[in-house]
Amino acid sequence: MTDLTVDETTEPRLAARVGNAFRSLFSDGLLLVVLIALIVFFSLLLPDTFPTTFNMRSILSEKSVILLMALGLALPLVTNQFDLSVGYVLCLSHILMIGLQVRTGLSWPLAALLVLLAGAAIGLVNGLLVTKAQINSFIATLGSGTAIYGVALWYTHGEQVVGNISPGFIDLSGTTAGIPRAALYALVACFALWILLEYLPVGRHLYVTGANPRAAELLGLPTQRYTIAAFIGSSTLTALAGIILASQLGVGQITVGPEYLLPAFAAVLLGATVFKRGRVNVWGTVVAVLLLAVTVSGLQQLGAQSWVDPLFNGLMLIVAVGVAGWVSRLRAAAGRD
């Protein structure tokens, strides 16, 4: 037993354990239950179009970009900071990825490297604005994001960036063993971030910084460095998402990017209500991304128009934050008994 000083008397054995497992499935794993229910529901309702390899594949490849962004966003959110610039970072990075190849004539690996570095540099600036200039992260990243959008607009003059792209780059978003490669990259990123947050000291330090920055500082943690690193991670992962998006689209468009911000945010915050109750975590984020994707896809196949997507994402963000707050208040109340 790993318990400290537990009141054994208040815990009847087997019945309690089954009850606890049941309860934790519905409080901790509620979102997973809902996801499975939705998949079953849409499969029964749309047996010809929903449970198909084609549909699954398109959901996976499309949502991998959002998942990568969401994983990035999770880092600043763990340290209790917002990064609103990622939508524009996605926009600029996918444009640059195409532009560096067709306009500058760089090979795609070199272009990809430069895009990742640009992403990291943006994150560094965001991090410095928040820690050194002490600007609220919401405002700082809203400002920097809009400025990035300006740069993207200047680079494209508002026109599509198109041209000859090497087959090798397009192949980046192909399939391996029938699975979209984008999903595999996202899966690798999930494992990497999961290990970082749950199994490496860095993860603990990031969570402590987010939970109480003042305490973290007094405990001897370099909180500013962690915060800056979180922002760098966020925009670098978004730049990676931009590279994959560029490979999928084959063109760079100024209008693509900002609309990815909200679903990514909704996924991280909704994901915080699963598995680790009230805490931003990797697998919760994955479940939330899939839940949003499955619902929107199912509704659209039932004949809903494309406006369902933003409507649903917006409402889910509100519900996610509402539920997260409610759950943590319930826990606080339960803990006080």
CA distances from 175 to 170, 182, 283 (A): 11, 8, 23
Kindly tell me which of 171 and 217 has the beta carbon lying closer to other proteins: 217
Closest distance of CB 2 from other proteins, Å: 4
Per CB under 8 A, residues contacting other proteins are 1-7, 198-202, 204-205, 207-208, 211-212, 214-222, 278-279, 328, 331-332, 334-336
Q: What are phi and psi of 51, to 5 degrees?
A: -85, 55
Dist. CA 98–CA 164, nearest whole Å: 9
Which of 236, 248, 242 lies closest to 95, judged by CA? 242
Which pair of structure tokens corresponds to residue 30?
A: 């509620």
Kindly tell me which of 177 and 334 has the beta carbon lying closer to other proteins: 334
Closest distance of CB 35 from other proteins, Å: 25
Closest distance of CB 70 from other proteins, Å: 20
Which of 228, 210, 241 lies closest to 86, judged by CA? 241
Which pair of structure tokens corresponds to residue 193?
A: 């971030």
Closest distance of CB 143 from other proteins, Å: 25
Q: What are phi and psi of 175, to 5 degrees?
A: -125, 150
Kindly tell me which of 210 and 298 has the beta carbon lying closer to other proteins: 210
H helices within 103-180, ranges in order? 108-131, 137-156, 167-171
Which of 242, 61, 249, 93 lies closest to 165, judged by CA? 249
Kindly tell me which of 30 and 221 has the beta carbon lying closer to other proteins: 221
Kindly tell me which of 155 and 283 has the beta carbon lying closer to other proteins: 283
Q: What are phi and psi of 161, to 5 degrees?
A: -100, 110
Torsion angle (degrees, nearest 10) of CA 227, 184, 243, 234: -10
Closest distance of CB 121 from other proteins, Å: 22
Kindly tell me which of 198 and 259 has the beta carbon lying closer to other proteins: 198
The kind and range of the H/E element at 180 are strand 179-180
Kindly tell me which of 139 and 218 has the beta carbon lying closer to other proteins: 218
Closest distance of CB 8 from other proteins, Å: 11
Closest distance of CB 284 from other proteins, Å: 15
Dist. CA 202–CA 183, nearest whole Å: 26
